[in-house]
């Protein structure tokens, strides 16, 4: 069966922006899973990796700072619990405590470095997608008569941005 570019674009949009799985989309739109997988692979060969776009969009929605903060919050909770466990063990030899604290400090240092260094291409894409999202919101709020036309342009342009960066 022949499918339209609009259907392919809609599937990509649902996969990237709504985080729906290909199996879910296959059932929802009655398009064979093989077809969806082929579309995704063809797009990747054409430098439109749907998974990278999905991750970038996820980061752009929440902001890289929010992702880093969530990661660091979880890490800090684990680090705090580890410190409490060390303190709660009075019979733990001092050398073992120091060794554990040293490993914790090293892990903390690495966690901070990781949080600061996002994959450069994801960071670029997420910033670009944030700008596009802001533009769509701006058009909707200030120029509602043009919002639909802009949205028709933004989806394919979002694909262009992912390919470029």
Chosen domain end from 116, 138, 157 = 116
Domain that holds residue 100: 64-116
73 and 109 share one domain: yes
78 and 106 share one domain: yes
SS (H, E, C) 2-58: CCCHHHHHHHHHHHHHCCCCHHHHHHHHCCCHHHHHHHHHHHHHCCCCHHHHHHHHH
**32 found inside a domain:** yes
List the chain pLDDT tens, one digit each, 165 residues. 789 888 999 999 999 888 899 999 999 999 999 999 999 999 999 999 999 988 888 777 555 555 666 677 788 899 999 999 999 999 999 999 999 999 999 998 887 777 666 555 556 777 787 888 888 889 889 998 988 888 788 888 877 877 776
Q: Please give the tally of structural domains in the chain.
A: 2
**77 found inside a domain:** yes
């Amino acid at each position: 069966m022949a499918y339209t570019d609009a259907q392919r674009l809609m599937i990509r949009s649902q996969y990237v922006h709504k985080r729906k799985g290909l199996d879910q989309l296959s059932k929802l739109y009655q398009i064979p899973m093989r077809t969806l997988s082929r579309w995704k692979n063809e797009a990747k060969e054409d430098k439109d990796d749907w998974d990278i776009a999905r991750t970038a969009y996820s980061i752009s929605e929440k902001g890289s700072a929010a992702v880093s903060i969530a990661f660091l919050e979880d890490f800090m909770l684990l680090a705090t619990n580890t410190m409490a466990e060390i303190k709660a063990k009075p019979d733990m030899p001092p050398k073992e405590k120091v060794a554990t604290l040293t490993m914790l400090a090293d892990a903390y240092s690495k966690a901070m470095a990781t949080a600061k260094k996002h994959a450069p291409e994801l960071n670029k894409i997420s910033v670009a997608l944030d700008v596009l999202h802001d533009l769509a919101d701006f058009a909707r709020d200030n120029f509602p008569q043009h919002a639909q036309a802009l949205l028709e342009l933004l989806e394919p342009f979002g694909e262009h941005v992912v390919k470029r960066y």
